[in-house]
Amino acid sequence: MVLGFGLAGRDTAILSASTEIRFLVKCDSWLGALMVATALSSLTDLANHLERQLNNPASYRAIVTRVLLRTGVNMREPKPTQNQDSAMVSKVAGTLAEMGYRFQS
């Protein structure tokens, strides 16, 4: 059974009955991805979901830095004019997707 669709790339894996714990984690991520699919309308939303998914301040900083270097957008402190700009949100979501963090906006 493959649950790759909609998950962050780092979480994509072929699951089996012998990986019950991992399965639960994947399901949680998968359901989480579905739940956020309609909620991500701002950079702040994206940042919050990324932070929750990574659950590690250093990892979060690294990804935010990569995004800023690639897009010029600071997800943690977006300018008011950028925060709900759909083009900007899509751009950042696309950059995150390139790194395997797939959130729908």
Extract the tokens encoding 12: 């994509």
Q: Which of 10, 22, 31, 52 binds another protein (CB under 8 A)?
A: 10
Q: Which of 16, 62, 86, 94 binds another protein (CB under 8 A)?
A: 62
Cα R_g (the chain), whole angstroms: 14
Q: Which of 61, 86, 90, 94 binds another protein (CB under 8 A)?
A: 61
Instruction: From 15-23, 26-34, 40-48, 65-73, give the range in contact with another protein by CB under 8 A.
Output: 65-73
DSSP notation for 3-49? --TTS-GGG--B--TT-HHHHHHHHHHHHHHHHHTTT--SHHHHHHH
C-alpha distances in Å from residue 101, one per residue of 6, 19, 77, 79: 9, 22, 19, 22
Q: Does 74 bind another protein (CB under 8 A)?
A: yes
Nearer CB in complex with another protein: 38/48: 48
Residues near another protein (CB under 8 A) are: 9-10, 54, 58-59, 61-66, 68-74, 98-101
